[in-house]
């Protein structure tokens, strides 16, 4: 997983819970906290950090993933030139993530592994799609979609239903309010 994902996570933890908690979380994982934006790292390290942070703060790993996803949307959006004006709504943007953005990410970084979205149905007010990823970060996905809706100034309702027990496949039903 790309270093930008880790660096952004550490910034958020420091800003939200303070330097001491951030350091404790790293220490407990014997992690030196050095992530360069061009480097690639094991996504399991992120999962471990989230589990430790959850123990230190009492916030559930799912809630931590969601807050993180919401906050990283802006950073990811800014990281890819030319996105401004490409999509004009949350639904259109989510389509472009699957059809264009994550494809470009894989071209740029052959060892990156973004998730796949399978589009099940779409109307003007409702999008149903399946999140598919061996990294099982559906709550990061939830936060990213919320961050995306905020970006387009839209109010949406999101329902999540796991398809597989390990949450490697989760159905998202997204409705505009
Ligand atoms: C609605 C918007 C988006 C959603 C729902 C979304 C979803 C996700 C999720 C859930 C992950 C975590 C990995 C996983 O679950 O397998 C991820 C990874 C990633 N996404 Fe997106 N994403 C969005 C927008 C973007 C944008 C705008 C970029 C711009 C470059 C981007 C680039 C990446 C990158 C670089 C990774 C890390 C992949 C890796 O290092 O293996 N995403 N995305």
- Asked if residue 41 and residue 12 are part of one domain, the reply reads yes
The tens digit of pLDDT for each residue in 130-152 reads 999 999 999 999 999 999 999 99
The values of phi and psi at residue 28, to 5°, are -65, -20
- Asked if residue 166 and residue 96 are part of one domain, the reply reads yes
Tokens in use for 57? 């703060």
- Asked if residue 98 and residue 14 are part of one domain, the reply reads no
Q: Whose CA is nearest to atom 19 of ligand 1?
A: 114
124 pLDDT more than 90: yes
Q: Which residues line ligand 1 (CB under 6 A)?
A: 1-2, 5, 76-77, 79-80, 93-94, 97, 101-102, 105, 112-115, 133, 135, 137, 140-141, 144-145, 148
The number of folded domains in the chain is 2
- Asked if residue 76 and residue 39 are part of one domain, the reply reads no
The tens digit of pLDDT for each residue in 86-114 reads 899 999 999 999 999 999 999 988 888 99
Which segments of 58-137 does DSSP mark as H helices, in order?
61-79, 90-96, 102-108
Q: How far apart are CA 3 and CA 121, in angstroms?
A: 34
> What is the domain extent for residue 49?
3-59
Closest atom of ligand 1 relative to the 137 alpha carbon: 15
Q: How far apart are CA 151 and CA 33, in angstroms?
A: 29
Residue from 127, 4, 129 nearest 75 by CA: 4
Residue from 96, 99, 98, 90 nearest 126 by CA: 90
Section 7-30 average pLDDT: 97
CB 113 within 8 A of CB 135: yes
- Asked if residue 104 and residue 144 are part of one domain, the reply reads yes
Q: Whose CA is nearest to atom 10 of ligand 1?
A: 141
- Asked if residue 11 and residue 78 are part of one domain, the reply reads no
Query: Residue 26 Cα, ligand 1 centroid: separation in angstroms?
Result: 23
Q: How far apart are CA 20 and CA 13, in angstroms?
A: 10
- Asked if residue 102 and residue 172 are part of one domain, the reply reads yes
Which residues does 111 contact at the CB level (< 8 Å), separation at least 6? 40
- pTM given for the model: 0.95
- Asked if residue 55 and residue 89 are part of one domain, the reply reads no
- Asked if residue 92 and residue 72 are part of one domain, the reply reads yes
- For residue 129, what is the domain's CATH number? 3.90.1520.10
């Amino acid at each position: 997983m790309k270093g930008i994902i880790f660096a952004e996570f550490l910034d958020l933890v420091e800003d939200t819970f303070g330097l001491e908690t951030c350091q404790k979380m790293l220490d407990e994982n014997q992690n030196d906290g050095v992530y360069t934006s061009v480097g690639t790292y094991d996504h399991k390290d992120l999962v471990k950090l989230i589990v430790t942070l959850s123990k230190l703060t009492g916030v559930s790993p799912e809630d931590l993933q969601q807050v993180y996803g919401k906050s990283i949307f802006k950073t990811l959006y800014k990281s890819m030139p030319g996105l401004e004006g490409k999509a004009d709504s949350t639904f259109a943007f989510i389509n472009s993530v699957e059809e264009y953005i994550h494809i470009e990410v894989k071209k740029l970084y052959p060892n990156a592994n973004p998730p796949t979205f399978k589009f099940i149905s779409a109307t003007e007010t409702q999008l149903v799609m399946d999140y598919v990823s061996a990294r099982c970060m559906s709550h990061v996905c939830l936060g990213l979609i919320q961050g995306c809706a905020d970006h387009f100034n839209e109010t949406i309702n999101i329902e999540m239903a796991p398809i597989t027990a390990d949450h490697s496949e989760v159905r998202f039903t997204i409705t505009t309010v």
